[in-house]
Amino acid sequence: MVGRPNVGKSVLFNRIAGEEKAIVADEPGVTRDPLVHLCEYEGKFFYLIDSAGYGLNDDLSELVKEKIYEVIEISDLILFVVDGRSVLTSLDFEFAEILRKSGKKIILVVNKMEGRIDSEIYLSPFTVLGLGEPFPISAIHKQNLTELIEKILSLIPNVEVGKEEQLIKFAFVGRPNSGKSSLVNTLIGKYRNIVSEIPGTTRDTVDIIWEFNGKKYMILDTPGLRRPSRIEEELEELSVRKALNTIKRLDVAIMVVDLSIGIRDQEKRILHYIEDKGKSCLIVFNKTDLFPSLKERREFEKIVPSLLSPFDYFPFIFTSALTGYNVKKIIPWVDKLYGLSHMRIPTSQINMAIQEALSRVSFSKKSKSLKIYYATQVETSPPRIVFFVNEPEIMNKNVQKYFEKYIRNYFSWTGTPIKIEVRKRE
């Protein structure tokens, strides 16, 4: 899907995707990186890609243009979206010529045609682009969208792909300019996301389907998460909301920390949100190239657990997206954390660990001692363990934390939150 800024591509993308995947705002240039979504209609799968607006005039214009060309090259069908209420510009004619030379199948989509869908007189000016019969729609009012999707299905190959739920989904999260996009680029071995030193370059979540060693992954590179008090523009607020929504749908979060900045309150807030949503997490201290001294890194490594507390059960590694240092360790950790979050412990083993924990510390309140009759794991991802006890009020948050930590250490259950539920045994 290509076209100039503000022609309604992102709205159309959301309509076809069936969910609010792309950020929609009046500001031109909201979409910078290609945004990908796996769609299914009538048993047929296809990847829908929303490219950046063609003709941006900013510091990233050349990078954006390269990405648009990449989208054209890999696509089987191009939706060229134009504004039905605007006069064609030289950019439209220039881009139409590029598309003709590509040799790709093209649908010329004339958007913003609400109330004029059936009026040929309003479509005739667009025939001069030489891209076939214009297809009128109104994305915002959902007019003629079903017909457009049917036309898309008739022109694309029938390729079988796995559903999103079959993929291991992980995301890079953290404050702006911490190196998230650079890590994605280094990890997959090519420049898939636009990388610059301008904070906030990645404004949308960018889904990447990636296969490695016979496994399929979905990588979600999110916008940087700033403190809410610093959000001044609606666009920034939308980006933060998209990033938080991304955390909800992933399997493993990769928290990227700029080693030159370190762990601050914002990192703790993000980690708290990850824990609250029950997601596994790997903490990546990026930009180690800024601290080339191995001795310096090892000294810092000793104090990391205290800096991370109370999230010190999340494992951490040091990386450099610039040099590639340790980036190859990310995927093995993703696989491991995914496996641990889906691990199920037999009830007998859980109770063995709990009895051992009780033998070390006793808990009581108002002369009543805590008795744990038994506990059992009822869910995975995240693991949830239900305790059946005599007096639930004794098992306050501190007591629950004690058993959570003990169970985690007992089963080497690192990197994933463990949810504890307390019930009174009748």
133 Cβ contact partners less than 8 Å away, ≥ 6 residues apart: 108, 127
Q: Which long-range contacts (CB under 8 A, 24 or more apart) does 326-329 make?
A: 326/288, 327/183, 327/186, 327/187
Residue 299 DSSP symbol = H
Q: Whose CA is closest to 406, among 380, 389, 385, 392?
A: 385
Distance (Å, whole) CA 5 – CA 155: 25
Q: What angle do CA 161, 165, 168 make, to 5 degrees?
A: 95
Q: Whose CA is closest to 127, among 173, 93, 178?
A: 93
- Per-residue pLDDT tens, the chain, 426 aa: give them: 888 877 888 888 888 887 654 434 344 444 445 677 777 777 777 878 887 667 654 444 566 677 777 778 878 899 999 998 888 888 889 888 888 888 889 999 999 998 888 778 888 889 999 999 999 999 999 899 999 999 998 888 765 544 444 688 898 888 877 888 888 888 887 545 444 444 444 445 556 777 788 888 888 766 555 544 444 444 344 445 666 777 887 899 999 999 888 888 878 888 888 999 999 999 999 998 887 677 887 888 888 888 888 999 999 999 998 899 999 999 999 999 999 999 999 999 999 999 999 999 989 988 899 999 999 999 999 999 999 999 999 999 999 999 999 999 999 999 999 999 999 986
- Do residues 405 and 309 make contact, with C-beta atoms less than 8 angstroms apart? no
Tokens of 60: 């990233």
Distance (Å, whole) CA 320 – CA 187: 11
Residue 375 forms beta bridges with which residues? 387
240 Cβ contact partners less than 8 Å away, ≥ 6 residues apart: 223, 225, 226, 228, 231
To which residue do tokens 């989208």 refer? 71
Q: Global pTM?
A: 0.62
